[in-house]
Structure formats: structure tokens, C-alpha cells
Amino acid sequence: MRGIVVVGNGMAGSRLVSEVRARDKKARVTVFGAEERAPYNRVLLSNVLAGTTRADQVRLHGPSWYDDHNVTVHLGTEVVAIDRETRCVITADGGRTPFSVLVLATGSEPIVPAVPGAERAIAFRTMDDCERILAAANAARRAVVIGGGLLGVEAARGLAGRGLPVTLLHLKGHLMDRQLDHEAGQVLGDTLEGLGVEIMTGVTVTGITDGKVELTTGHVEADLVVAACGVRPVTALALDAGLHVERGIVVDDEMRTDDPAIFAIGECAQHDGQVYGLVAPCWEQAAIVADLITGADARARYRGSRLVTRLKAKSVELAAMGETHLTDADAEIVRFTHRRGGTYRKLVIRDGRLVGAILVGDPATVGTLTQLYDRGGPLPADRSGLLFPGLAGAAPVSPSPVRMPDAAQVCRCNNVTKGQIRACWEAGARDVAAVAAATRATTGCGSCAETVGGIVEWLCEQEGASA
């Protein structure tokens, strides 16, 4: 009997399955996951590495979820081919599973430097990788992380948090160069160095030997090497099946490939020339496809996502959104830097609208600036109120629940507003765990947990005051 088949059980695939089941209790659903584990929140692996979160705390589904929701799951089972003529997927053991609808959520794979000794490095991508790194860290004297993007910064901070001396190597001139400008990258580097991470930028790795990472300019000693050099979409399955593949699997606004029975979502999908590597777009795409394949909303369409990159680790917080690399010649730039205090704030404004922002350090204005960026609303004439909400006469930019409108987005990953949190609180969800269960707020990158807690606390106080 044919039904919905999902290939990939990571953050995109597992969310799709739960979205489908929320809309249709009877649809036949089968999911294949190459990993032997139940799905988990990959975004929070850096917290597991740092020791602030246990592995069991990042699970997306409990062990009994699939049986409870009548979903057939094949863990540790690789799909190796798609037979489009007979509408079947073929697994490594030769098994064939028919489908009426196929959703590819194959995700991405880590890029490892193509240098001699690369096999000595441990990629930082999966829970298995995380466990290998932790096991090696127990006996290591010094670690090197290759790659100063978001994942590399998180890995370096996590290892340093365990007391291990860490050197972070980055090819470009400053950390997180895709999201941050040079000055912001320097402030981030200063912050990490203050936490025990040695930063080396503008360096090229030429090889990895026993106890050393070789550079064009010398070497760095290390008995643990972590590769965090980026990822590439996993597209071989689609390519072998004759689907249109560029950088990712090309899809339209329905997330449909050039075969109308096959969809693609998450990090393997390319929509309008863009491949998204953040959780919020993946989950938005999953909801769109669930609407379409269950018939819940035949008009559902994906129009792309406005990206906000968040890093929230102990003593390291930043957010970057939109067009962060524009100069004064291209847009109005409002900026404040305090390197010693680890603070950098930059607004990029065009035609009176916020088109980009970088915030390193104090995150007080992140929520409001994200809303302004998402909605494209007009900005106050006095820009200082956007960077310094506490200034006398400044425009009211406050995360306080009292001033926050119900339409304000609190959890970006799951598109949860203050009004939705209020509604589920009024329905009986009286703590953060209950709100998370009802709305999924806090279950993505986790950066909204403090705000959600503040709203719940404020609602409880309001109830007590009116009693």
C-alpha cells in the first residue's frame, strides 16, 4: 500500500512527520533515518559538547512516539536509490518501499579539509561526532578547531568551557565572516580569547599529523582536531534519480521538485537559488509541505525566509540578520563599538527600513530589531533608541512583556508570538515546559527561553495582582 515516505529523520524530516500527523491522523507514513538514533535537535549539540545539556535533553521524539502516532520508522537504514518508474525507494539491503508522495530531507554533510591526514580530524555534525569529540577530549591536552564559522565558534567555546586549551583556526581575516563585518568579528574574537580560546585568522591548514596541525606558516600542537569547515547539501540520491540538482535539490514554491510526486525540504533543498542552513526555514518548509500533501491547505506556498543567525553560548551572545556587509555608500549605517566590554551594535538602514543588523554582546534589543527586520516597518527618527533603549527620550524598544504587543514574535524557530503564549497560558500552561509542549517555543535554538520565561512569570504576576 502506497503512502507518504520521508527520507531523512533529522530536524527537517522529523518535523515534517509530526506536522503531517498533526493534520492527518490516518495517513500512511514511513520514515527512513540513516542514523540509528531517534531524531534530536542538532542546533543544541554545542551545549552537549560544553556539558550544559545532556544528550537525552535534545531529543525531538521520545522512544515511543512512532508507535503512539502510528508511524513506521526505519532507523539506521540508508535509502540508496529512488525508482521513479515504479514509485519506490530502495534501501541498502535491497528492500523496496512504494510511495505516492516522497519527501527528501537528506540534510547536509560536513566538509573536511582535503589535506594529508584529514582522517585524523573529527567532524562536528552529528551526536555520534559529539560523543567521539567528548571521548577524545577526556584524554587530550590541547585541541584545535578548524573553521571559524558559527559551528566552529560553538565547538571552540564548548571545548574551552571544559577547561581544555583550544586554538581556533580560520582561513578568512575574521570570525564568522559570512554574517559579521570585520569589526564585529574582532569583538567576537576578543570575547573568545577572554574565555581561553586562542584565535588564529588568515591561516591555511596544509596537513594534520600525529599531535600537530600543519599550516603554511608553521604548525599548532593538538591531540584533538575538530573540523567545522562548513557543510554541503546531500543530493546524490536525487541526482542519481534524475532530479534537477544545482547546489541543492531544486524546488518550487510548493517545495516540489521537477517530479510532481517528490518534494525536498531542509538543508538539501534549493529554493529560488537559496539553500538554507538554519532551523527556522527548515521547519517552515516542513509545515508548507505538510499542508499540501495532507490537503490541509492547498494554497500553501513557501516564499523564502529572512535569515537571523543566533549564537547563544555561555558568555558569548550574538545575532546577525540581513545585509550586514553594506557600507556607508550603500545604506545608512548606525554603529556602536566597545571592544573592551565585548559589545558591538550595527544597524543597516535603507529607505527608512532596517535591512540588516549585527549585535554582539548585550542582547537586550535583539527581539525588537528582529521584529523590525521581519516586518520592514518604519524606524524612529532618533536611531539611538534602537541601540540604547534605556536612554532618556529614546523610542520605546523594550523586551518587557508589558510593552510587547501580542503580535510580537517570541520564538523565531517555531514562529510563536506573545499572543500565542498568552493564549496557551490562559488554557492552563503555567510554566515554560508546558508552554513549550503546547507551542514548541524554546525547542529550536533555545535563545528565546529567557523571554518565554519572562512572559510566563509576568502573566502569573498579573493573575496574582488581580486576584
Same domain membership, residue 289 and residue 191: no
Same domain membership, residue 288 and residue 260: yes
User: CATH number of the domain that 338 lies in?
Assistant: 3.30.390.30
Give the pLDDT mean for 49-76.
91
* Pairing outcome for strands 262-264 and 197-201: unpaired
If residue 30 lies in a helix (H) or strand (E), which one and from where to where? strand 29-33
* Cα Dmax for the chain: 70
* Pairing outcome for strands 4-7 and 101-104: parallel
Q: What is the pLDDT of residue 13?
A: 97
pLDDT tens for 311-347 read: 877 778 899 999 999 888 889 999 999 999 999 999 9
Between CA 142 and CA 111 the distance in angstroms is 22
Domain total of the chain? 3
Q: What is the pLDDT of residue 323?
A: 93
Between CA 255 and CA 24 the distance in angstroms is 19
Q: What is the pLDDT of residue 411?
A: 80
Same domain membership, residue 324 and residue 268: no
Same domain membership, residue 393 and residue 412: yes
Between CA 279 and CA 289 the distance in angstroms is 16
Share of the chain above pLDDT 90, in %: 66
- Residue 301 domain-assigned (yes or no): no
Give the pLDDT mean for 152-156.
94
User: CATH number of the domain that 22 lies in?
Assistant: 3.50.50.60
Between CA 62 and CA 52 the distance in angstroms is 20
In a 3-state reduction of DSSP, which class is residue 91?
A: strand
Q: What is the pLDDT of residue 392?
A: 42
In a 3-state reduction of DSSP, which class is residue 345?
A: strand
- Residue 172 domain-assigned (yes or no): yes
The answer to whether residue 466 scores a pLDDT higher than 60 is no
- Residue 429 domain-assigned (yes or no): yes
266, 10 Cβ separation under 8 angstroms: yes
Same domain membership, residue 337 and residue 205: no
Q: What is the pLDDT of residue 464?
A: 66
The answer to whether residue 453 scores a pLDDT higher than 90 is no
Domain that holds residue 98: 4-109+232-294
Same domain membership, residue 238 and residue 328: no
Same domain membership, residue 439 and residue 329: yes
- Residue 300 domain-assigned (yes or no): no
Given 294, 327, 346, the domain boundary residue is: 294
Task: Give residue 400's pLDDT band: very low, low, confident or very high (50, 70, 90).
Answer: low
- Residue 303 domain-assigned (yes or no): no
Between CA 58 and CA 12 the distance in angstroms is 15
Between CA 123 and CA 130 the distance in angstroms is 9
pLDDT tens for 433-444 read: 788 878 888 887
Computed over every residue of the chain, the mean pLDDT equals 90
Greater confidence (172 vs 399) lies with 172
How many Cβ atoms from other residues are within 10 Å of residue 324's Cβ? 19
Same domain membership, residue 239 and residue 273: yes
Between CA 335 and CA 310 the distance in angstroms is 19
Q: What is the pLDDT of residue 390?
A: 56
Q: What b-and-e string marks burial along 228-256, b requiring 16 or more CB atoms within 10 Å of the CB?
A: bbbbebbbebbeebebebeebbbbeebbb
